[in-house]
Amino acid sequence: MLSRRAVLFRHLSLSKSSPRTFNTTIATRRPFSTTELPNGIKLAYDLHEPPTTDWDPSRTSHNAPPPIVFLHGLFGSKKNNRSMSKVFARDLQRPVYALDLRNHGDSSHHPQHDYTALAEDVEHFLRAHELQAPILIGHSMGAKTVMTVALRQRVALGALIPVDNAPVDAALKSDFGQYVRGMRQIQDAQVQKQSDADIILQAYESALPIRQFLLANLYRDTHDGVQKWRIPLKYLANALDKMGDFPFRDPEEARYEGPTLVVRGTKSHYVADEMLPIIGRFFPSFQAVDIEAGHWVVSEKPEEFRKAVVEFLQDKD
């Protein structure tokens, strides 16, 4: 029988949160950069910095708030988190690193794509940039990646925010397999217009926002004019089963005691009520917040997501 501490969590209510005011000055974003890791992978990232007009000269490297590292989900990229990263840099007055994980965006391609490999990349990145006690935020695939980093305990973290995924083995929705089939059909058709690619994809996904999300991975080859995928479909198709797995099984052997905010969409099945006890065993200090959204919590309800994260982290400063 689970102990009371193992299953205890505090459920946050957004509707009862006290209003806060934030500086509206825009954060700055440097042109994207890449970091070559010791394992040969090159990770691309955007760095969003707090507005210079809000810089506090009394803050030193010893008392400045820890940086945020923001990870996207499967078929996503750092661009998906660009707007929210700017907001966090502004509202929380700290740098935000939005990463492209391997096989996504502008980062390296590699046939190995599982949570151990993804976590190792993130750990190398944190060491390379000497990020002290960073806050890791990850959505979907990114959520399982940040949970894996925390449980491996190879780097010190300040807090953890997994978004709409749980530390369990659970098959991906069949939608992802359909997306791959549609993307392969687009690849074989060698279309030259993104609108033609969208027509093909409509047979596999009816929702325009999701199609736009997937089609953001296309680029036009300047040599032949063909729309081509920036992501390696072969590698990611082979990794779909692994994306449903989780590398840890026993909470008695691996546990992260630091502050953790689990954000879940009420219309999504990825963090069901019956998963909360196992989350509590792996992450005994976790809190949960429900947002009325599907799996794409950040894009569906950005203000609710912003509010939950900002209030959680401000309580930790």
> Active-site positions?
140, 295
Question: Cα dist. 101→139, 216, 247 in Å?
Answer: 12, 16, 18
Question: Cα dist. 179→80, 191, 270 in Å?
Answer: 18, 17, 18
State how far the Cα of 234 lies from the Cα of 1, in Å rounded to an integer.
Answer: 44
State how far the Cα of 145 lies from the Cα of 132, in Å rounded to an integer.
Answer: 19
Three-state DSSP at 276 gives helix
Task: Please say whether the beta carbons of 118 and 146 come within 8 A.
Answer: no
How many residues does the structure list for the chain? 317
Three-state DSSP at 33 gives strand
DSSP string, 220-256: E-TTT--EEESS-HHHHHHTHHHHH--S---TTT---
State how far the Cα of 35 lies from the Cα of 138, in Å rounded to an integer.
Answer: 19
Count other Cβ atoms within 10 Å, centred on residue 5. Answer: 10
Task: Name the residue with tokens 């296309």.
Answer: 218
